[in-house]
Structure 1
Amino acid sequence: MSEYDAKLYGQFLRAVQPQIGALRGVLAELQAKKKERQWSRHQTSGELDDGKIIEGLTGERSIYRRRTEQEPPPGSPPDKPKRLRLVLDVSGSMYRFNSYDGRLERSMEAVVLLTEALKGYEARIRYDMYAHSGEEHALELVRVDRPPENEKERLQIIRTMHAHAQFCWSGDNTLPATKHAISTLANEDADEAIVLILSDANLRRYGIPPEHLGTILTSDPRVQAHVIFIGSLGDEANTLLRKLPVGHAHVCMEVASLPHIMQQIFASSLLQNT
């Protein structure tokens, strides 16, 4: 990597350095394995055990049962990795309005943040990245079997994003991109599947009802799909937030908020799979 490229990537890296540490902390807390919940009997508190009613009448105190987590038996196969797909908005409006609210730059910083934070977690979280615009609904940026290995490869990803947004035709493929991401991920054999759609909340310009996006986001229970609005003209992002399914839409106008949003998403996914 040339001195200029190293300096350019360094600018993006420094902008998200604190958030990388925060997100790695979130990832470290993720449980890599599911635990089987079972009844533990002979407890002094919890739910009354029907089989010990007589003992209760005689003064016995250990007549309750509680749900507890049990470690899998020795020799059990390890759980499958979690599956993460990031779908990025590289439409013309991302480039056009970047000077207004920094939306394209924020999206590029998000890529640096995620790729840097996920280093060393590839065995537990397998991820890929796609982009969408007026021309494309599934432009591959990162293959699931080949995450970026160094700063040069990470820089190439954000350069591709910038170039595509600068020169692509106008239009919006948010709905096809979301549908493609969910449908293709749903059939994969994974512990959990999570899709994150980054969008600049420019749906109204193209006559896209938010309800249509909401229907797609919740179309397959095998995939937890979320849209993160990283740009907004006026209050459009918050307006969309109120019209989309609760818990599936987020507004992120500062990349510093992304680790917290990711923590909420992962926590929600873990609860649904408990």
Structure 2
Amino acid sequence: MLVPDWEKEAVPEHVQKAAREMNRAAYQERLRPDPDVRTRLPPCTDQMSGNVRKQVQSLRVLLSSLQAKGKERQWLKHQTSGELDDAKLIEGITGERTIYKRRGEQEPELGTPQEKPKRLKLVTDVSGSMYRFNGYDGRLDRMLEAALLVMEAFEGYEQKFRYDIVGHSGEDYRVEFVRSDRPPTDNKQRLQVLKTMHAHSQFCLSGDRTVEATRHAISSIAAEESDEAFVIVLSDANLERYGIRPEEFRRVLTSNPDVNTSAIFLGSLGDQADRLSEQLPSGRSFVCLDLKKIPQILQQIFRSGMLS
């Protein structure tokens, strides 16, 4: 049962402060080092790796096939203006006009080696509603599995594709779970990431900072040099409860043409996710209540980036 916001606001400040301190203490206790990390993870975790095995293989096949996208700066020949091309002096004498060359950017040819890594920032929803409604539709389990899918699939592709996993909730809009320069390298490290994500969702304060998280992810990744940049936002579509209008989220998603942005809704109360997705740009939003669809969605996102 949801507690109305007006009832929460009516609670005296000293009671709210005591509750927050108890909450923080429980959160820190949950994150204490554990010799067997599995003993403190949600029950479904033991099955997660098996659940995503086929999806991991599909995504790895996709990653291995991605081509370079970044434009190369080189001499563009056969121009009508610019610097005279010495190799076309004879053509100039005969009246040919395209005898110049100039420096410019050119799309790489198919098969061109990728000089810079592609970049992905996976923005995960670790808000309280993910934990609260997990029993309703498994949204938190699905989000953890999606994060595990990325961590396992991208292993070994660090030179080609670097990724971060960050989270957002009512407390913060940039909770760091995985850094691109320090990705998890074994099952224990990956499970520790999932443990932290699960604990944050369980103990965080209520609220929603999806828009701030998306804006920050886009601006931070745009400031980096990369072959291509992607921001993928995972959410439970529970935005209207906090007064966030679809057009506000839409503006942020489309704020930078140099960054490929998409939203994937992993949970929904009724048709909430469908209604929100319909009001976002076509090809930029997906409703995914079945993790088996994630590789196909990621393939569509990465392929559309290559074609843009």
Taking structure 1 as the reference length, the TM-score comes to 0.82
Is residue 2:43 matched to residue 1:2? no
> Which residue identity lines up with residue 221 of structure 1 in the other structure?
P
Give the counterpart of 1:252 among 273, 288, 291: 288
- Secondary structure, counterpart of 1:110 in structure 2: helix
The residue type paired with residue 233 of structure 2 is: I
Which residue number in structure 2 is paired with residue 80 of structure 1? Answer: 116
Within a 5 Å distance, the mapping from 1:160-179 to structure 2 comes to 160-179=196-215
Q: C-alpha separation between the residues in 1 aligned to 2:275 and 2:256?
A: 25
State whether structure 2 residue 38 is matched by structure 1 residue 31: no
Pick from 149, 153, 161 the counterpart of residue 117 of structure 1. Answer: 153
Q: Which residue of 2 aligns with 1:11?
A: 47
Task: Identify the residue that residue 61 of structure 1 maps to in structure 2.
Answer: none
Distance 1:71 1:2, change over 3 A: closer
SS at match of 1:175: helix
Name the amino acid aligned to 1:122: E
SS in 1 for 2:164: strand
Q: In the superposition, relative to structure 1, how do residues 239 and 9 fare at CA in structure 2: closer, same or farther (>3 Å)?
A: closer
- The answer for the alignment partner of 2:140 in structure 1 is 104
In the alignment, what sits opposite 2:57?
Answer: 21
| Unaligned stretches of 5+ residues in structure 1 | 40-66
Q: Deviations over 1:154-189 (max 9, x none)?
A: 001111111111111110000000000001111100
- For residues 1-274 of structure 1, the aligned pairs below 5 Å read 2=36, 4=38, 9-32=45-68, 69=109, 78-272=114-308
Shift of 1:112: 0.9
Q: Is the 8 A contact 2:119 2:227 kept in 1?
A: yes
Inter-partner Cα distance in structure 1 for 2:128 and 2:37: 30
Q: Distance in 1 between matches of 2:146 and 2:243?
A: 27
Contact 1:33/1:79 (8 A) holds in 2: no
Q: Which amino acid aligns with 2:118?
A: K
Q: 2:108, 2:211 → 1: CA distance?
A: 41
CA distance in 2, matches of 1:82, 1:220: 17
Answer yes or no: is the 8 Å Cα contact 2:37–2:191 preserved in 1: no
Q: CA deviation at 1:32?
A: 3.9
Q: 1:33 to 1:105 in 2, by over 3 A?
A: same
Question: Over aligned residues, Cα RMSD in angstroms?
Answer: 2.7
Q: If the length of structure 2 is used for normalisation, what is the TM-score?
A: 0.73
Alignment CA distance shift 1:227-1:134 (3 Å):
same
Q: Which has the larger radius of gyration?
A: 2
User: How far apart are 1:79 and its partner, in Å?
Assistant: 2.0
**Ranges of 4+ aligned residues in structure 1 off by more than 6 Å:** none
Identity %: 52
Secondary structure, aligned partner of 2:202 = helix
Q: How many residues align?
A: 243
